[in-house]
Structure 1
Amino acid sequence: MGRFARCADYRTGSADYAAKTEKPCPMMSDLSRQTLLTRPLYFLDSSFPRRRESSIAVGLPPSSERQYLRAELIDVLQLSSLRHVAVGIVILLCVLSFSSAAGAAPSAQEREQRAQSYFGDDVLLDQDGVRRKFYSELLKDRVVLINVVFTQCRDACPLITQRLRTVRQQLGASFAKPVFFLSLSVDPEHDRPQHLKAFAQKQQADEPGWRFLTAEPATMHAVLKRLGQFQNQPEDHSTLLIAGNPATGHWLKIRPDSPPEAIAAKLQGLIEGP
């Protein structure tokens, strides 16, 4: 006869009719249907209990029907209350889990360890031929602005380098020192320290706090891949600027055509922290 109680046509009073139609009782929720599975099957019209004549009980004496149905409704209410309690418990557990996660924020030492593990400490060469460890000497304890260049570039690289010079001017004396500019070569096969030096001087960017960097191709490619800046052909390199504060774990990608004052403001935000 199906998995749950069905409605009888109270006009005919026929249980057989209900068994044939197999219509679910519209007045009963899924919860009440599940409750009724544990009881003798009975048929109930949607107007119960307002219309006594509309209900037909099967397997129960008439005098026991109202008491039985009242017990059924009490069971439904109790289960409904338990459901609300369960929902409340789930919400509380979610709140506690969120609070626990928020309270378990990584420490400064953990952030530093993660940053060093991710970026690595490959040895690069700057425009003066000085060996520089990528994380411990170029990133650690600094706010950095990173871009990629190659010295044979005749359009985007010189233009972006000039834009970055203007950004340094916008930062001013009080902010220029803690922001370190790193220009990484995407053409390490050609760009050696002397080539980077000539490029930096031509662009009037050979300044303290601005390093132009290269390395052996395999090393340079590994560094660029970690930054998402590697391309097989130098001409296909990205022009996006990458700004970050490894100490706080905050990193940004910035369009190079953004106004210099807007780029400077983002860098100042990284210095000051959240």
Structure 2
Amino acid sequence: MPRVLRLLCLVLLSLSLPCSLPPTLAQATPWGADYFPNIPLLTQDGDHVRFFDDLIKDKVVAINFIFTGCGDSCPVETARLRQVQKLLGERVGQDIFFYSISIDPYNDTPATLKRYAQKFAIGPGWTLLTGEAADIEQLRRSLGLYIEGLENGRSKDHNLSLIIGNQATGRWMKASPFESPYILADRLANSLHNWKQANAQAEAEAPVIRPPSTGEQLFRTRCSSCHTLGDAEPGITRGLGPDLLGVTRQRDAHWLTRWLKEPDRMLAEKDPLAMLLYEQYNQLAMPNMRLGETEVAALLGYLEEETTRLNGR
């Protein structure tokens, strides 16, 4: 394998672009047993596995890193992947595999991970894992999911990137965990299995799609993994949280604004309505999405617009 080609692939991976090796080099892919640390890990069922040998060798996979005590991004990542899993159906566990690996192995025991999986109704083919802290850090570094300077062992701040790939072909790419579930499902089900050349004619005939408003973009990326807005999207069942159609008319505006900005604090204060929602929805805490005043206003504006549009008034 020429050194230049290997370096090029590494650069492409770091830029979140697909890295596809020429077919003649399929047997010489750098993404093999010599590249990935074959670290020991423990599943939510207490089974001992090796990262390369048991989890990714000759498989199409989606891998992210979470911790169960996370109160902001991790629940949203998990909820989004749950949508992707539902879209892929029985293929998850057959030719596509999901792995969520804890960055807090001291607290995330197999039993803790199993409870987390049950809360999110995670299905077969999606394994939650823990292990030794040093091994997990080494793995994150090799996958390009560790940011120097951000993570010092005392903080649980971490890179939110999801990595998906096909180990057999050497094709890997980073993806946002807040991406549309349909796009993620298509990449796992199609793009990573079969490399398809761009179709210039299809691109030329593609319809022009209106750009989403700021509020709609926030709903799609931050809210839609747990909430529906009117009807659930095709292939996706009832959300992990309440449907948000009409919520701007059902809740006090001040309460709703504060709930979007600091749900963790409201739960800590045992706000009655916050606690009611917490108990009603399987004790899944609303994550703090770090929304500012402008973002909250845009999101509430979009929810009101959709309520008016869908209700006709």
TM-score (norm 1): 0.57
Structure 1 counterpart of 2:124:
208
Asked if 1:172 corresponds to 2:61, the answer is: no
Aligned 8 A contact 2:100 2:128 in 1: yes
- What is the alpha-carbon distance in structure 2 between the residues aligned to residue 220 and residue 258 of structure 1? 25
- What is the alpha-carbon distance in structure 2 between the residues aligned to residue 170 and residue 131 of structure 1? 29
Offset of 1:241 from its aligned partner? 1.0
Larger Rg: 1
- What is the alpha-carbon distance in structure 1 between the residues aligned to residue 124 and residue 75 of structure 2? 19
Asked if 1:228 corresponds to 2:148, the answer is: no
The aligned amino acid for 1:263 is L
Structure 1 counterpart of 2:135:
219
Asked if 1:257 corresponds to 2:178, the answer is: yes
Deviating more after overlay: 192-201 vs 171-180: 171-180
Question: RMSD of the TM alignment (CA)?
Answer: 2.1
Aligned 8 A contact 1:248 1:273 in 2: no
Query: SS of 2:55's equivalent?
Result: helix
CA deviation digits over 1:212-253, x for unaligned, max 9? 111111212211221122333453111111000011110111
- What is the alpha-carbon distance in structure 2 between the residues aligned to residue 254 and residue 273 of structure 1? 17
Greater percentage in helix: 1
Higher relative CO (Cα under 8 Å, sequence separation at least 6) belongs to 2
Offset of 1:210 from its aligned partner? 0.8
Q: Give the number of aligned pairs.
A: 170
TM-score (norm 2): 0.51
Offset of 1:121 from its aligned partner? 1.2
CA deviation digits over 1:243-271, x for unaligned, max 9? 00011110111111211001111112102
CA deviation digits over 1:29-84, x for unaligned, max 9? xxxxxxxxxxxxxxxxxxxxxxxxxxxxxxxxxxxxxxxxxxxxxxxxxxxxxxxx
- What is the alpha-carbon distance in structure 1 between the residues aligned to residue 68 and residue 132 of structure 2? 16
Offset of 1:190 from its aligned partner? 1.9
Structure 2 counterpart of 1:151:
68
1:173–1:211: structure 2 CA closer, same or farther, 3 Å change rule?
closer
Q: Percent identity at matched positions?
A: 39
1:173–1:106: structure 2 CA closer, same or farther, 3 Å change rule?
same
Trace 1:120-139 onto structure 2 (pairs within 5 A).
Answer: 120-139=37-56
- What is the alpha-carbon distance in structure 2 between the residues aligned to residue 229 and residue 133 of structure 1? 19
Offset of 1:194 from its aligned partner? 1.3
